[in-house]
């Protein structure tokens, strides 16, 4: 397994390289950049300032040279400077990444805690009143965009009932910035993501469990006289979790990129907002950094899913 993980990690390098080259070329293919968009008429000689900044940032060099420069600096820990925000990229991106990871982790916990048990419960009593009614609720939740759910959660839980904060990644006062404070502020946005996503998980879980419970090996286990609990734990559950693990891997990757609309609604300082802002402002250094981080998130998510396959299904062994 260790060799497999190492091989997969090494295999990510060319993929990341290809992704960064693609993003780099795409961004530079779009007209304009953050420096050329500076339009402060009070600056007496804007053209000279722009030319100076373009030269200083190496934007007048050939594209391949710019890319190699960026890559070399990035590897050395110099992520460059945000032209549009006027701060070093690390200072901009790392706090946002931290907030996004907290939100993503909490959202995944909610998704798994709500979706998987619900799906199992539905699968154990298929076509019962409970199964039908919760399936209807699931379909309704899945049909509503998560930002609409977020608006209702903000209105009822934050504005009307004052139960949760509706804005920001941290609060005020002595506890501001503590892990508890972070989690407290991530609760509503995480719940907004989780309600819709857990519906998907419960459907996957239900379907997978039902499928496995009708397989020959499950019938054999029952025929051997094993109790229903043992059959479920040892045969149905572990085999039924394989599609869930696949979905989890995808989710980890996609959540690393943040949720643009949600972050806007909750004024949550995450990766989605800064990535969108950087893309509209042609803020190359920020886009490159966020793209790379998101790509790493997606690839790691897939790797985690592959590792979890082996955990849930002992038949799977990687060489």
Binding to another protein in span 109-138, by CB under 8 A: none
**Distance of CA 90 to CAs 82, 260, 290, Å?**
9, 20, 10
Number of other CB atoms surrounding residue 262 within 10 Å: 23
Total residues contacting another protein by CB under 8 A comes to 56
Spatial contact of 104 and 183, defined as CB atoms under 8 Å apart: no
End-to-end CA distance of the chain: 7
Cβ proximity to another protein: between 35 and 231 the closer is 35
Cβ proximity to another protein: between 83 and 237 the closer is 83
Under the binding rule (CB under 8 A), the answer on residue 37 touching another protein is yes
Among 256, 247, 239, which Cα is nearest to 298's? 256
Residue 31 φ/ψ, nearest 5 degrees: -70, 150
| Tokens matching residue 74 | 């990035």
Cβ proximity to another protein: between 10 and 39 the closer is 39
Q: Which of 198, 281, 285, 290 binds another protein (CB under 8 A)?
A: 281
Under the binding rule (CB under 8 A), the answer on residue 56 touching another protein is yes
Q: Which of 203, 206, 235, 282 binds another protein (CB under 8 A)?
A: 282
Under the binding rule (CB under 8 A), the answer on residue 254 touching another protein is no
Residue keyed to tokens 């993503």: 104
Cβ proximity to another protein: between 59 and 231 the closer is 59
C-alpha span between 143 and 137 (Å, rounded): 10
| Tokens matching residue 3 | 């060799």
Under the binding rule (CB under 8 A), the answer on residue 83 touching another protein is yes
**Distance of CA 44 to CAs 19, 47, 86, 240, Å?**
40, 9, 20, 68
Binding segment for another protein among 12-20, 118-126, 264-272, 285-293 (CB under 8 A)? 264-272
Spatial contact of 153 and 167, defined as CB atoms under 8 Å apart: no
Q: Which of 10, 29, 40, 76 binds another protein (CB under 8 A)?
A: 40
Binding segment for another protein among 17-25, 47-55, 186-194, 213-221 (CB under 8 A)? 47-55
C-alpha span between 206 and 10 (Å, rounded): 36
Four-residue CA torsion sign, 43, 45, 47, 52: negative
Under the binding rule (CB under 8 A), the answer on residue 319 touching another protein is no
Cβ proximity to another protein: between 274 and 293 the closer is 274
Under the binding rule (CB under 8 A), the answer on residue 231 touching another protein is no
Binding to another protein in span 144-183, by CB under 8 A: 147, 151, 154-155, 159, 166-173, 176-177
Torsion, Cα of 170, 175, 178, 182 (10° steps): -30
Binding to another protein in span 185-214, by CB under 8 A: 185
Q: Which of 13, 43, 109, 136 binds another protein (CB under 8 A)?
A: 43
Q: Which of 9, 15, 68, 87 binds another protein (CB under 8 A)?
A: 87
Taking 3-state DSSP, the helix, strand and coil percentages for the chain, each rounded to the nearest 5, stand at 75, 0, 25
Sites of contact with another protein (CB under 8 A): 30-33, 36-47, 49-50, 52-53, 56, 81, 83-88, 91-92, 95, 147, 151, 154-155, 159, 166-173, 176-177, 185, 264-267, 269, 273, 280-282
């Amino acid at each position: 397994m260790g060799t497999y993980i190492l091989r997969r990690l090494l295999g990510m390098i060319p993929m990341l390289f290809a992704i960064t080259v693609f993003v780099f070329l795409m961004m530079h293919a779009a007209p304009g950049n953050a420096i050329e968009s500076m339009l402060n008429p009070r600056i007496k000689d804007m053209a000279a300032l722009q030319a100076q900044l373009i030269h200083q940032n190496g934007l007048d060099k050939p594209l391949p040279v710019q890319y190699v420069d960026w890559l070399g600096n990035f590897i050395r820990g110099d992520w460059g400077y945000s032209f549009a925000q006027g701060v070093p990229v690390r200072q901009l991106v790392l706090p946002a990444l931290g907030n996004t990871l907290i939100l993503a982790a909490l959202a995944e916990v909610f998704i798994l805690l709500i979706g998987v048990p619900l799906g199992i419960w539905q699968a154990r009593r298929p076509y019962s009143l409970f199964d039908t009614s919760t399936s209807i609720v699931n379909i309704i939740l899945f049909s509503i965009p998560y930002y609409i759910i977020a608006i209702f959660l903000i209105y009822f839980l934050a504005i009307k009932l004052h139960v949760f904060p509706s804005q920001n990644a941290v609060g005020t006062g002595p506890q501001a910035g503590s892990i508890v404070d972070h989690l407290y502020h991530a609760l509503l946005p995480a719940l907004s993501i989780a309600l819709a996503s857990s519906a998907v998980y419960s459907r996957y879980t239900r379907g997978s469990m039902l499928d496995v419970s009708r397989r020959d090996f499950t019938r054999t286990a029952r025929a051997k006289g094993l109790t229903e609990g043992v059959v479920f734990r040892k045969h149905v559950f572990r085999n039924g979790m394989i599609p869930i693990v696949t979905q989890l891997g995808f989710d980890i990757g996609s959540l690393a990129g943040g949720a643009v609309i949600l972050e806007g609604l909750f004024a949550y300082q995450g990766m989605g907002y800064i990535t969108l802002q950087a893309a509209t402002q042609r803020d190359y250094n920020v886009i490159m950094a966020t793209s790379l981080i998101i790509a790493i998130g997606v690839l790691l998510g897939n790797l985690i899913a592959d590792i979890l396959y082996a955990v849930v299904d002992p038949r799977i062994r990687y060489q």
